[in-house]
Amino acid sequence: MAHADHTFEHGGYTMKFSSYPGPTSRTFVLIHGIGMGRIVFDEVAEVLTAQGGVLVPDLPGFGDSPEPGTKATIQDNAELIERFIASQATGDVTLVGHSMGTQIVAEIARQFPDSIDTLVLIAPTINRHERSATKQAARMVQDLYGESPKVLVEGVVEYAKTSPLWFANKLRLMLDHRIEDVCPHIATPTLVMRGETDHVCPRDWVQEVAAALPDAEYEEIPDRGHEAVIKSPEPVASMILEFVARRAHRRQQTS
């Protein structure tokens, strides 16, 4: 499906983003992880257009978005994406984050709950039981072992766009952020997902995240690792659509 590329500017930040047309009653906003860019959601976005328009930005310093003159903390990114949603989204908003993106979208849900109606956390980080750069790097290598050529090639291309210093700064900020402290303050209905074979986000940790949320569902993505959204759009995209449909039906029954 054809999509359009745009530029969003706010508060000294410049973000490149792609928009995929769909029903205006809902907008899906997809936030990538560290070292990645909006291209990793391309196929997922196409499936989601069945139920809404889709917006996919490159976070500052990643993909095609330039590095700003600041370290751009998780909090800074959350405020920027909230402004992006207010400016670009229509209808109800489903906010989706993958890996580092889960930290950003969780902050948005906590601080700006009126800006979204459903939340999706795919492979939430950082696992508090393994909070070190060395351990996280080892887990990523373990997870990528035996991955498909598509995942490996796309990862190399995207990582090559990010400067090593910017990556190191963002990793440090990720390690400092504690999503487990944010989750209890999120009232938004949330779908928490992990790949069945994800070594970066083990089952016990992701279930702990789901249990900390006041209103959450937990699901595993069969035969997928940490990069579940890159390998193929399915079953991730359909799982998101089914969750949104369930929650919309539940709201109708209680209204």
Model confidence, pTM: 0.92
Q: What's the confidence (pLDDT) of residue 88?
A: 97
Distance CA 179, CA 104 (A): 9
- The topology (CATH level 3) of 4-249 is Rossmann fold (3.40.50)
Return the pLDDT at 29.
Answer: 98
pLDDT score recorded for residue 165? 82
- 107-145 tens-digit pLDDT: 999 999 999 999 999 999 999 987 877 777 767 665 555
Q: Dump pLDDT digits (tens) for 150-207.
A: 544 555 556 567 778 887 888 888 989 999 999 999 999 999 999 999 989 999 999 9
Indicate the domain borders of the chain.
Answer: 4-249
Per-residue pLDDT tens digits for 23-71: 999 999 999 998 889 999 999 999 999 999 999 999 999 999 999 878 7
pLDDT digits (tens, 9 = 90+) for 141-154: 655 555 555 544 55
